[in-house]
Structure 1
């Protein structure tokens, strides 16, 4: 039994050990920021490697905690994204007074996400969600000298508390209507009674807040703009990815008997999310706000994929989140470097960027092409599989709306590419040196964008994992 505990909870235990190591180093030593960052990046790499070794399927704590190859893969995707974010933020953190606190908060958040993904019980899911959400508010306020950062933290904690309240109310109604919180038992107890549908609506609203679905998206742009770039990239990719993994699994297991009900809800929400995300992205000049509305539009495409049959929905979502990790973090990597050195975060600042920083320009362009879905980048295949999954239900109206919105998204992504390569700027961003860690992160992201799109077997591998569930 003890052996099963260590094997099945391996990834959570590794994160916990790393947190304790960092705490002891913070208390007992006086390491320089650079040494602390080097050690932490080594530990994060070790965590990523450990995720691919010796994994098994099984359950613990009477089914409250469960794991299988697909869950292990999802955690590994988040671990990879965490390592990339750490590499990108190294140059910024070297000049910060609270490096150890940042990493401890980051890993506590990641630990909560791991528990949330492995939850086999609504209560376990809620505990994991809170563990992942509360430290993020402190991270959003990590630029202590900036009022915008404090404002971002306040808006995030208030909206997060409201979303958590809706989720907890929905969970209580589910328990009152069925007498259980276990996912396996709930799938048998959910019959479509009015109280159960009302409880589901509350749960859906809570999830929608966490992943910025319209009309629950109003916090997103302000928080993204006020938080440090490293935290913004974490929120946009890792945080949303973890909730999406749980969301698609819960819909297709616990609430599978309500498919007709939630399909109609997701139809409306996906159309609204894509439209609003695209229309507001066109108007943005701040790069972080632009990427915020871009991420909202991407969530709309993910909702289209979720409306498909269970296996294809789960496969397309996991594949797209992997692609999104590389694409969005590549864009945020360039923005983070420019912001850390120059403090400039406006889209107009990037006019003529290619003349002074050709390498960074190409990294940003490849990332934007992938986010737009331009072939042969991985983003094209990610959106293609999402639309293909949504088409499985035969609702071609939704697919046509999503495809037309892809054309709209081309405009605002290519607008930035045009500014980078073709527009003149009287005060262009000066030539920037790329430190070792951010350079490594960009290489990983660009390679991921190219290789993930061309490696067709990866989608088949994820589908094989979902088929065995």
Structure 2
């Protein structure tokens, strides 16, 4: 039993040990920021490598915690994204006085995500969700001298508390109606009774807040703009990715009997989310707000894929999150570097960017092409598989709306590319030195965008692990 505990909870235990190591280093030593970052990045790399070896499927604590190859892969995707965010943040963190606190909070949220993904019980899921969410409020306020950062933290706390309340109310109704919180038992008790449908609506609203589904998206742009770029990139990719993994699992297992009901709900929400994200992204001048509404539109495409309710749909969501990690973090990596050095975040600031920073221009352009779904980038294949899985239900109206909006999104992504390569600027951003860690993060992201798109075995492997209705 003890052996099973250490093997099945290996990834959670490693993160816990790293957190304690960082706390002890903070208390007992006086390391420089650069030394602390080097050590932490080494530990994060070790955590990523360890996630690929010695894994096994199984359950613990009376089915409250479980793991399998798909869950291990999802955790490894989040670990990879965490390492990339850490590398990208080096230029900003080396000037900050609270580097240890940043990493401890970051890893606490990652630990919560791991428990949330492995939860086989609604109570453990909720505890993991709170552990993954509460530290992010402190991270959003990490630029202590900026009022916008404090405002972002306050808005995140309020919206997160409201979403958590809805989730907890929904969970209590599910327990009252079924008498259990265990996923495997819930699947046999869920039916189309009005009380359970109402409970599901509350749960859906809670999930909607966490992943910025319209109309639960209103906090997103303000929090993204006010938070440090590193935290914004974490929120847009790692945080949303973890909730999406759980969302798909809960829909396809616990609420499988309500598939026809939640399909209609997701149909409406996906259309509203894509349209709202696209229309507002066109109007943004701040790059962080632009990427916020871009991420909202991307969530809409993911909802289209989830409606497929099949193994293809499950694989498409995991694959797209992997692609999104590389694409969005590549874009945020450039924005983070420019913001850390110059403080400039407006779209107009990037006019003529190619003349002074050609390498950064190409990294940002490739990332934007992938987010737009331009072939042969991985983003094209990611959206193709999502639309293909959505088409399995035969609802071609939904697919047509999504495809037209995909074309519409080209406008606001190419607007940035036009500013970079074609527009002129009297005061262009000066030539920037790319430090080692951010450069390594950009290489990983660009390589990932290309490899995950052109190497078919990546998707095939994910498909072989996935589940469906």
Correspondence for 1:206 = 206
* Contact 2:278–2:293 (Cα < 8 Å) also in 1: yes
Question: d(CA) in 1 for partners of 2:106 and 2:309?
Answer: 34
Correspondence for 2:169 = 169
Question: d(CA) in 2 for partners of 1:119 and 1:168?
Answer: 15
Question: d(CA) in 2 for partners of 1:430 and 1:120?
Answer: 52
TM-score, length-scaled by structure 1: 0.99
Question: d(CA) in 2 for partners of 1:273 and 1:191?
Answer: 28
- The alpha carbon displacement at 1:191 in A equals 1.1
Aligned length: 469
Correspondence for 1:123 = 123
Deviations 1:131-171 (A, max 9, x none): 00000000000000000000000000000000000000000
Correspondence for 1:25 = 25
Correspondence for 1:414 = 414
Runs of 4+ in 1 over 4 A off after TM superposition: none
Question: d(CA) in 2 for partners of 1:318 and 1:378?
Answer: 13
Correspondence for 2:57 = 57
Correspondence for 1:376 = 376
2:345 is equivalent to residue 345 of structure 1: yes
**Alignment root-mean-square deviation, CA:** 0.8
* Contact 1:121–1:181 (Cα < 8 Å) also in 2: yes
Q: How does 1:388-467 map to 2 (within 5 A)?
A: 388-466=388-466
Distance 1:259 1:468, change over 3 A: closer
SS at match of 1:427: coil
* Contact 2:352–2:421 (Cα < 8 Å) also in 1: yes
Correspondence for 2:11 = 11
Give structure 1 stretches of 5+ with no counterpart: none
Correspondence for 1:305 = 305
* Contact 2:313–2:468 (Cα < 8 Å) also in 1: no
Q: How does 1:250-261 map to 2 (within 5 A)?
A: 250-261=250-261
Distance 1:467 1:112, change over 3 A: closer
SS at match of 1:283: coil
Correspondence for 1:154 = 154
2:386 is equivalent to residue 386 of structure 1: yes
Question: d(CA) in 1 for partners of 2:286 and 2:23?
Answer: 36
- The alpha carbon displacement at 1:310 in A equals 2.7
Distance 1:252 1:36, change over 3 A: same
Correspondence for 1:292 = 292
Q: How does 1:216-295 map to 2 (within 5 A)?
A: 216-295=216-295
- The alpha carbon displacement at 1:309 in A equals 2.6
Correspondence for 1:215 = 215
Question: d(CA) in 1 for partners of 2:456 and 2:392?
Answer: 20
Question: d(CA) in 2 for partners of 1:310 and 1:45?
Answer: 34
SS at match of 1:66: strand
Correspondence for 2:134 = 134
- The alpha carbon displacement at 1:467 in A equals 5.1
SS at match of 2:72: helix
SS at match of 2:466: helix
* Contact 1:248–1:313 (Cα < 8 Å) also in 2: no
- The alpha carbon displacement at 1:468 in A equals 10
Correspondence for 1:322 = 322
Correspondence for 1:107 = 107
TM-score, length-scaled by structure 2: 0.99
Name which of structure 1's ranges 247-256 and 455-464 shifts more when overlaid on structure 2.
Answer: 455-464
* Contact 2:314–2:468 (Cα < 8 Å) also in 1: no
Question: d(CA) in 2 for partners of 1:468 and 1:148?
Answer: 42
SS at match of 2:426: coil
SS at match of 2:322: helix
- The alpha carbon displacement at 1:459 in A equals 1.1
Give structure 2 stretches of 5+ with no counterpart: none
Question: d(CA) in 2 for partners of 1:164 and 1:41?
Answer: 32
Deviations 1:50-81 (A, max 9, x none): 00010000000000000000000000000000
